[in-house]
Amino acid sequence: MAARTISRCFVVSTRSYSSKADKNVAFLGLGNMGGYMAANLVKKGFNVRGYDPSKDALSAAAKNGVSGATSIAAAVDGADVVVSILPSNKVVLDAYLGQDGVVKHVPKGSLLIDSSTVDPNVPKQIFPVATESGVAFIDAPVSGGVMGAQNATLAFMVGGNKDDFDRSLPMLQAMGAKHFHCGGSGAGQVAKLSNNMLMGITGMATAECMNMGIKMGLDPKVLLDVLNNSSARSWSTEVYCPVPGLVPTAPSSRDYDGGFKNELMVKDLELASSMALGIRSPIPLGAVATQLYRIVQSRGYGQKDFSFIYQLLKEEATKK
């Protein structure tokens, strides 16, 4: 059933939409991603009031023009739009549906945009309650990482009603460069988890093949050149090579720092695995990827970029 609601994705160009009356934005979760996203909304002329339990996050956001609130209820009071980007399923459900949450306190007619990465069942639980309360809700997870958040180049994958997607565009365009309407509620999360599972699998496969070829004596640069000009070419080989020093802008070339943390890859693969289990879709490669990135994490490298997996494989090969 779920698959039917998400069968088509539409990409929308970045042309400007005239914003209607949506000027007052409540922003929940001013962390690595949210801090920059809220700042970009301020730059585009929105009045942004933020809430985060971390005082440090609130004071960093204040320097970028985000006014602070002491609770979710205070942040959403009088808001036209709520944007959130929060850590987990539970935090998102509590923030929206809890006793002191968004749905109970936000004005009727407002639009709620959740950009957290969560199980598709989370938006599917919030959507009917929000609709019943007279507010619109869309799931709008993002791709592009902290750099994308900083430079307003994120890609948004949206699930929910098309009218609500259209209404969200002025805000999404202030924070990102690409915006896809993927289908009904939860469809954005399905697209996001599918993308990240494939990214995890191709990253792992690239690390494995580069390691094998190098151990067999090939010049790493020559091997990468071959892959990038042959049928194995991918984002992992072109942009995100896991071998240090071959792609200067890849996290591997700066000691695997400042990329997409291994612990976030594990989180997304676990969400994808649970989604696949729910519909009994076989994901043999996704399952192997989940286990391998978990091992990286258990060895203490969860904060490193997920391409660190290359170092793990290299170490195993060296043991022989």
Catalytic residue list: 192
Minimal distance, residue 96 CB to ligand NAD, in Å: 10
Minimal distance, residue 140 CB to ligand NAD, in Å: 11
Task: Tell me which of 95, 135, 247, 312 binds ligand NAD, using CB under 6 A.
Answer: 95
Please report, as residue ranges, which positions from 282 to 311 form the binding site for ligand NAD (by CB under 6 A).
none
Minimal distance, residue 274 CB to ligand NAD, in Å: 14
Task: Tell me which of 138, 264, 265, 309 binds ligand NAD, using CB under 6 A.
Answer: 264
Say whether residue 33 binds ligand NAD (CB under 6 A): yes
Cα 167 to Cα 151: distance, rounded to the nearest angstrom: 22
Which one of the spans 23-31, 38-46, 207-215, 278-286 is the region binding ligand NAD (CB under 6 A)? 23-31
Minimal distance, residue 202 CB to ligand NAD, in Å: 17
Say whether residue 68 binds ligand NAD (CB under 6 A): no
Say whether residue 29 binds ligand NAD (CB under 6 A): yes
Say whether residue 117 binds ligand NAD (CB under 6 A): yes
- CA angle at 142 for the pair 112 and 39, rounded to the nearest 5°: 70
Say whether residue 116 binds ligand NAD (CB under 6 A): yes
Residues 253 and 244: beta-carbon distance below 8 Å: yes
Say whether residue 170 binds ligand NAD (CB under 6 A): no
For the chain, how many residues are written? Answer: 320
Site string for ligand NAD, 215-254 (x = CB under 6 A): ----------------------------------------
Q: What is the dihedral of CA 67, 68, 72, 77, to 10 degrees?
A: -40
Say whether residue 146 binds ligand NAD (CB under 6 A): yes
For every residue of 72-105, DSSP letters joined together read HHHHHTT-SEEEE--SSHHHHHHHHHSTTSHHHH
Name the phi and psi angles at 309, rounded to 5: -55, -30
Measured from the CB atom, the residue of 52 and 164 that comes closer to ligand NAD is 52
Task: Tell me which of 5, 32, 153, 274 binds ligand NAD, using CB under 6 A.
Answer: 32
Minimal distance, residue 167 CB to ligand NAD, in Å: 22
Cα 137 to Cα 130: distance, rounded to the nearest angstrom: 6
Phi-psi sector, 78: left (phi>0), alpha (psi -120 to 50), beta: left
Q: Among 302, 295, 297, which Cα is nearest to 316's?
A: 295
DSSP tally for the chain: helices H, then strands E: 15, 10
Minimal distance, residue 114 CB to ligand NAD, in Å: 9
Q: Residue type for 75, please?
A: A
Name the phi and psi angles at 316, rounded to 5: -60, -45
Q: Among 42, 7, 318, 306, which Cα is nearest to 181's?
A: 7
Say whether residue 71 binds ligand NAD (CB under 6 A): no
Q: Residue type for 86, please?
A: L
Measured from the CB atom, the residue of 34 and 286 that comes closer to ligand NAD is 34
Please give the residue ranges that form the binding site for ligand NAD (CB under 6 A): 28-34, 51-54, 57, 72, 85-87, 91, 95, 116-117, 142, 145-146, 260, 264, 267
